Structure 1
Amino acid sequence: MSFKYRMIRARDAALGGAVGPTDYVLCRDLQMNPIDGEYTAQDWADGQEGAKPEELFNPRSSLQFNVDAGWGQAAGTAPRIAHLLKACGMSETVVADTSVTYQPVGFGAAFGAVDVETYRNGKVQALGEVRGSLTFTANSGQRPMFGFNMVGRYAAPQAGVFGAPDLTGWQYAPAVVPSQMQTFTIGGVNLCATQFTFTDGRTPRVDKYMNCAGVDIAERRVTGRVTVKEVDIATKALVEECRTGVTSAIIWELNQEQAALGAMRIAAPRVQIKWGGEVNIEGDMGVNLDLTFMPDQGDDDVAIIFKAQE
């Protein structure tokens, strides 16, 4: 059995129907846990030494993977991975011919789910009501990536085959390089950056109530980190801003190589920066800044926007 024979497919649960060949997810760093849960020792007082059997409670299945933060259609068209974003507690707002925006849903609001099929060396596992948490990572010279940590209700694997994946029209992101970067600013100030990342802080969980079934995700706390080249005080007083707890807007925007395919913007209106330590950026004085994303007007801690290029 080869470790390479591992694939996943995911379909928006709201669409109904069976997961099929066009639902393949082209991903990397795939880690599948066909059985997960809490093992509890049955430590009965039976007058005997030694280990006791452990019973598995709350069985579930989980998977973690990264995908290109890609898009590749006209402005106002959702990216191919939209269903995965919505399954991580993001709402979708479409402005025809202009933009598609993903923002966190409010507490208690309904959000999406995906039906997932995993394939591991001749074994297919069909998971329903799959939801998860989201991360975003952009490193200089590489494609930006979305990371997903997803959990679904357990189903026993069955013998089966997937067949060849249909990846027609799969969307890729351009590399994060100066020629494609539209902007990266903190508080309106352009800073030279090597890395930008954030996570929504959510935790997916199955059946948190004893009498109400469901796969849910915990409340969000969006945090991140950016590594920047240090600037003089007149440009931006980073140390003093870290001390006083100043909050600033962050904008990160990347263009596709073809202008007609638009751009992706990460926008956060109110972010606190915290000192994360010095770093040597190939001889330049660099700084790690830890980020805390806060809402400004409702559920707008962070927005992922696919839009026309400026």
Structure 2
Amino acid sequence: MYTRRAVVLAKIETSYGTDADPTGEANAILTGRPSVKGLSDNLERNFVSPTLSPLAPCKAGHTVEVSFDVEARTGAEPGTPPEISPLLRACGFEETVVAGTSVAYKPVSDDFESATLYVFLDGICHKIRGCRGNMKFVGEVGKYGVYSFSMRGLYAEPVDLPLPSAAYSAVLPDLVESATLKMTPEGGSQYIPVISRIEFDLHNELFRRDDVTREDGVREIMISSRKTSGVIDPEMVPAAAKNYWSEFRNRVPNQVVFGYGAAGATDKITLTVPRAVYDEVNYQDRGPLLSIQLPFICQYNLGDDELIIVYR
């Protein structure tokens, strides 16, 4: 079996854990090499015997975790969801489509959707139902934007299946160049820093909901909380231009807007954090230049809007 011969399919479920039956023609996602891992509780049997040899443990609470990277690219036309739509929705985002214009994703706090993932590895297929998970976005200058997904779902043993035909989007990913970046402190003026990299991490906490009546004792993978964060690395400037240390000390929130892939005057992909508060400040070198590493927490604004992703 070849590591590069793999296909990932994803489709939103009509009800939790019900196989959505994704197909290669309609639900294929172009990914990096997927990693599939079986998870379980290891129940040690600490009982006495005439020897010091350990007894075989029991296993319980089986689930499956799959992770992979995906290029950040838009839908075929403005107002059409990107191919990663089912993954974003299964990570706790609500999708809002404005036909012919845009597709927006905002986090929710209830009625979470779930997805079925089929992961084909050359000759075997993992059919993973009830998937929910996490998303991280990285935008680095001169490279295309990348989403990293880590999804967890109900356990099922793989089956022997040939690779399906997969129809992938023909849209090319845009490079992180000619980007829009704005930082606006609360009560202050907009500032445009010089950066080389920006990250946004959803940081969902996943909870395994157990049930003695279910196979493997698992009823559901739930999203129980989130602590969305990010990192930005601006070049250091005089305090009169942008006083990062004062904003850190006084917990001053900044609105952070990052967009790139401009089509005319409009960015194709925009990520917005209404209230970003620095978690710490660290100097670092960027060649001969002094820069500053700013991890930040995406704070409560109006609720369920700490990170907004818009495709146009």
> Would you say 1:190 and 2:192 are equivalent positions?
yes
Counterpart-to-counterpart distance in 1, 2:80 and 2:121: 33
Change (3 A) 1:230 1:260: closer
Q: Which residue of 1 aligns with 2:74?
A: 71
Shift of 1:233: 1.4
Indicate which of 243, 248, 253 corresponds to 1:237. Answer: 243
Contact 1:21 1:165 in 2 (8 A): yes
> Would you say 1:147 and 2:122 are equivalent positions?
no
Tell me the secondary structure at the aligned position of residue 242 of structure 1: helix
Counterpart-to-counterpart distance in 2, 1:177 and 1:260: 14
Counterpart-to-counterpart distance in 1, 2:81 and 2:95: 9
Once the two structures are superposed, the pairs formed by residues 118-197 of structure 1 within 5 Å of their partners are: 118-167=119-168, 169-178=169-178, 181-187=179-185, 188-197=190-199
Shift of 1:170: 4.4
Counterpart-to-counterpart distance in 1, 2:162 and 2:266: 35
Once the two structures are superposed, the pairs formed by residues 36-55 of structure 1 within 5 Å of their partners are: 36-55=39-58
Tell me the secondary structure at the aligned position of residue 86 of structure 2: helix
TM-score by length of 1: 0.89
Cα offsets for 1:241-284 (capped at 9, x unmatched):
1111111100001124x549951111111110243311111211
Counterpart-to-counterpart distance in 2, 1:51 and 1:32: 29
Tell me the secondary structure at the aligned position of residue 275 of structure 2: strand
Paired AA for residue 100 in structure 1: V
Contact 1:72 1:261 in 2 (8 A): no
Change (3 A) 1:186 1:281: farther
Counterpart-to-counterpart distance in 1, 2:34 and 2:195: 28
CA RMSD of aligned residues (A): 2.2
Q: Which residue of 1 aligns with 2:10?
A: 10
Q: Which residue of 2 aligns with 1:251?
A: 257
Counterpart-to-counterpart distance in 2, 1:194 and 1:65: 23
Contact 1:80 1:170 in 2 (8 A): no
Change (3 A) 1:280 1:77: same
Cα offsets for 1:65-121 (capped at 9, x unmatched):
110121044433222211110000011122333322111102xx1122111111224
Shift of 1:186: 4.5
Contact 1:75 1:262 in 2 (8 A): no
Change (3 A) 1:83 1:68: same
> Would you say 1:267 and 2:272 are equivalent positions?
yes
Shift of 1:14: 3.1
Counterpart-to-counterpart distance in 2, 1:270 and 1:213: 36
Paired AA for residue 64 in structure 1: S
Paired AA for residue 183 in structure 1: L
Counterpart-to-counterpart distance in 1, 2:304 and 2:99: 22
State the percentage of identical aligned residues.
19
Aligned pair count?
A: 300
Task: List alignment gaps of at least 5 residues for structure 1.
Answer: none
Tell me the secondary structure at the aligned position of residue 83 of structure 1: helix
Counterpart-to-counterpart distance in 2, 1:163 and 1:78: 23
Contact 2:183 2:257 in 1 (8 A): yes
Indicate which of 193, 210, 220 corresponds to 2:226. Answer: 220
Task: List alignment gaps of at least 5 residues for structure 2.
Answer: none
Cα offsets for 1:136-171 (capped at 9, x unmatched):
11111111111111011011111111234221x244
Paired AA for residue 137 in structure 1: V
Counterpart-to-counterpart distance in 2, 1:253 and 1:9: 28
TM-score by length of 2: 0.89
